[in-house]
Amino acid sequence: MTAIVSARGLHKHYGSLRVLDGVDLNIEKGAIVGLIGPNGAGKTTLLKALLGLCRFEGELEVLGLDPRRQRHDLSRQICFIADVSVLPRWLKAGQALELVRDIHPLFDMDRARSYLDQTRIPMNKKVAHLSKGMITQLYLALVMAIDAPLLILDEPTLGLDILYRKKFYDHLIQDYHDRERTIIVTTHQVEEIETLLTHLLFLKDGKLVLNTSMASVADEYCELMVPKDRAQAGRDLGPIGEREVFGRKLFLYKGVERDVLGRLGELHTPGIVDLYLALMKEDAA
Ligand SMILES: Nc1ncnc2c1ncn2[C@@H]1O[C@H](COP(=O)(O)OP(=O)(O)OP(=O)(O)O)[C@@H](O)[C@H]1O
């Protein structure tokens, strides 16, 4: 396996605020990694560190390069979608395509057009006269058409309507299968990416409280649904999460044998939201 990202002991402070607090991370080629965490957890800061866009302490290699010293080389191999649209407002949509074609050697015009065909953006309109969602669509089309081995998406679908968000992720996965890519994505709409991911990272107060493959989630974690009158038996097995669903109790366990749990009720593999709720509790981790 080739490491695309290799980080040891990443730290970042803003004054007395500790934003990254000892992050260790390996991301292998071909992974689709979801970076999930509450507001202010440090997700964007971590992505900025990977891109060489902020200073930090610790060891970090991305695509075999040091983002602090080789940011320029790195930027040619990473396609980065930020959560803000940075397109000049005076530019017409069609001109934006030509501009990126002229400045980025890995830009694929046909691919950009195929993204834009899915939208209702008039190519002769200025960015200033497009809707907020259209500006994001245009920006996504431009950036997604850059044929880079590493794709970093920071809240890519913020402000987009449901239909286009679905199209975007369909496109993303198609694109992933068409070319060899590694993808890191942050979003608060985790249900949308749940089925795409191969790896899951939970960041809380600058620390990774979960760093695992989706396959390991299914092996390690298990949900048990029991009638309320069996709740105590469920609690006795040491769940890491407990909540009520339609008058029954849903417990989440880590590392407890499925055979043992299965005697009490129905078993499921937990979804990302349930894992998140259990692991992000104030007293957890
Ligand atoms: N340039 C900066 N100067 C000072 N503090 C900053 C700066 N950038 C980020 N921070 C602080 O660092 C912390 C982490 O911010 P970051 O943007 O990485 O969080 P996030 O996990 O991406 O949050 P969100 O989900 O809200 O986008 C926050 O407390 C934020 O206020």
Here the CATH number for the domain that contains residue 234 is 3.30.70
226 lies in a domain?
yes
Please give the share of the chain, as a percent, with pLDDT higher than 70. Answer: 97
18 lies in a domain?
yes
Q: Is the pLDDT of residue 65 over 70?
A: yes
Q: Is the pLDDT of residue 216 over 90?
A: yes
Identify the pLDDT of residue 231: 92
78 lies in a domain?
yes
Same domain, 121 and 228: no
Same domain, 60 and 187: yes
- Both structure tokens of 141: 């089309």
Q: Which of 176, 189, 208 is nearest to 280 (CA)?
A: 208
Same domain, 237 and 125: no
Q: What ipTM was estimated for this complex?
A: 0.97
Judge contact between 233 and 226, C-beta under 8 A.
yes
Same domain, 155 and 233: no
Identify the pLDDT of residue 285: 44
Same domain, 242 and 222: yes
Whole-angstrom Cα distance, residue 86 to residue 138?
A: 11
284 lies in a domain?
no
149 lies in a domain?
yes
Percent of the chain as helix, strand, coil, to the nearest 5? 35, 30, 35
Q: How far is CA 177 from CA 30, 35, 180, 214, in A?
A: 10, 21, 7, 18
Specify the number of domains making up the chain: 2
Same domain, 88 and 148: yes
Same domain, 93 and 169: yes
Whole-angstrom Cα distance, residue 154 to residue 28?
A: 19
Q: What is the mean pLDDT of residues 258-278?
A: 92
Same domain, 147 and 56: yes
Q: Which of 151, 181, 205 is the last residue of a domain?
A: 205
Task: Print the domain residue range for 227.
Answer: 216-279
Same domain, 67 and 194: yes
Q: Which of 205, 226, 253 is the last residue of a domain?
A: 205
161 lies in a domain?
yes
Q: Is the pLDDT of residue 282 over 80?
A: no
For ligand 1, residues with CB inside 6 Å are 14, 17, 19, 37, 39-45
Q: Is the pLDDT of residue 200 over 50?
A: yes
210 lies in a domain?
no
Q: Is the pLDDT of residue 284 over 80?
A: no
- Both structure tokens of 72: 């320029």
Say how many Å lie between the CA of residue 15 and the centre of ligand 1. 12
Q: What is the mean pLDDT of residues 27-52?
A: 95
Same domain, 149 and 232: no
Mean pLDDT of the chain: 90
Locate the ligand 1 atom nearest the alpha carbon of residue 188 and give its number. 25
Whole-angstrom Cα distance, residue 234 to residue 251?
A: 7
Sheet strands (E) in the chain: 3-14, 17-28, 32-36, 57-62, 78-81, 150-154, 182-186, 199-204, 207-213, 221-227, 241-245, 248-254, 266-268
Say how many Å lie between the CA of residue 44 and the centre of ligand 1. 7
Task: Tell me the pTM.
Answer: 0.89
Q: Which of 156, 183, 205 is the last residue of a domain?
A: 205
Locate the ligand 1 atom nearest the alpha carbon of residue 42 and give its number. 18
What value, to the nearest 5°, has the Cα angle with vertex 185 and ends 38 and 280? Answer: 25
Neighbours of 179 (CB within 10 A): 11
Which of 11, 14, 189 for a ligand 1 pocket mutation test, highest count of atoms within 8 Å of Cβ?
Answer: 14
Q: How many CA atoms lie within 13 A of 255 on its CB side?
A: 2
Same domain, 47 and 179: yes
101 lies in a domain?
yes
**Residue 160, domain CATH:** 3.40.50.300
Q: Which of 114, 52, 38 is nearest to 282 (CA)?
A: 38
